[in-house]
Structure 1
Amino acid sequence: MVANKFVSIVIVLCCLLNTIHKSEQVVYRLITETLQNNVAGEPITHERTEWDFDPEISKARRGLFYEKNGFRASKLIESLGVGIDGKEQQRRQEQRYRDVGKLNGEHYRNFS
């Protein structure tokens, strides 16, 4: 019942929009884009895609990721933090000096 009313409203709107003159194209475009994007969905939403997925590969790659980047990418984050310009050891030393009095790089006391 509600769907029939909705369909009839959409049909009436489409018929009215077909009679709009060129000067009223902004309103026409606004209404059609609103209907298409909010009611019908964007056209790309309706495309079917196929993906080759094998969960066993991901289990094998997890171990390689942990070995290379550490758990939760801790080694990767550290390497991004020190840079790649040849001054990595100097920055690591500065970080160690900065982190004195902290537990795992975090404050163990709440300084307000």
Structure 2
Amino acid sequence: MQPHDFCDPQSSVINGPVTGTAGAPPESKTRFETMLRLRQVFMVSLPLVLILVLQVSQPAEGFIIRLITETLQNNVAGEPILHERTNWDFDPEAAKRARSLYYEKNGFRSAKFIERLGVGLDGRHQERRQEQGERDVGRLNGEHNVNYPPPPA
């Protein structure tokens, strides 16, 4: 053995026998770049090949091919009818009128509607409302009178 066999040519420190691997060998770097390039080519070419095969092939009776074809056509591109232009006859004043009618019937944030659901729909709602009013006096800070105020005395 020669003294230069124990010397690392990069650091000139005696470390042991020289293996010739100061860092990564140059061929592994090119191999990594090659694998990265192949991966990129595969990722680009696979969808292109799939689209080409699905466009060129005749409608298949096979379950798998039909499933893939329908999935790509309906979920990726969307059904053709979704791309048609639609005209809506929209009246902005109608929305304001509908909102005022809704508030009149059901109250703000549907408070009257919720209260109507609470008293029931079997015809005994007036009795239940009176019972609930007697039960809740002083509990709700009079909020139960906001939706259905008591009759004038």
Normalised TM-score (structure 1): 0.61
Find the structure with the greater CA-based Rg.
2
Decide whether the 8 Å contact of 2:59 with 2:66 is kept in 1. no
1:77 corresponding residue in structure 2: 114
CA distance in 1 between partners of 2:88 and 2:132 (Å): 43
1:12 is matched with: 53
Over residues 40-69 of structure 1, what are the superposed CA-to-partner deviations in whole Å (9 max), with x where a residue is unaligned?
Answer: 112342232221111122223322221221
**Does structure 1 retain, via aligned residues, the 8 Å contact 2:119–2:125?**
yes
> Which protein has the bigger helix share?
1
Give RMSD over aligned pairs.
Answer: 3.2
Q: Report % sequence identity.
A: 60
User: How many matched pairs?
Assistant: 98
Between 34-43 and 75-84, the greater mean CA deviation after superposition: 75-84
Distance, in Å, in 2 between the alignment partners of 1:26 and 1:99 is 65
Letter of the 1:66 counterpart = Y
* Structure 1 residues not aligned, in runs of 5+: 106-112
Equivalent residue for 1:46, pick from 76, 80, 83: 83
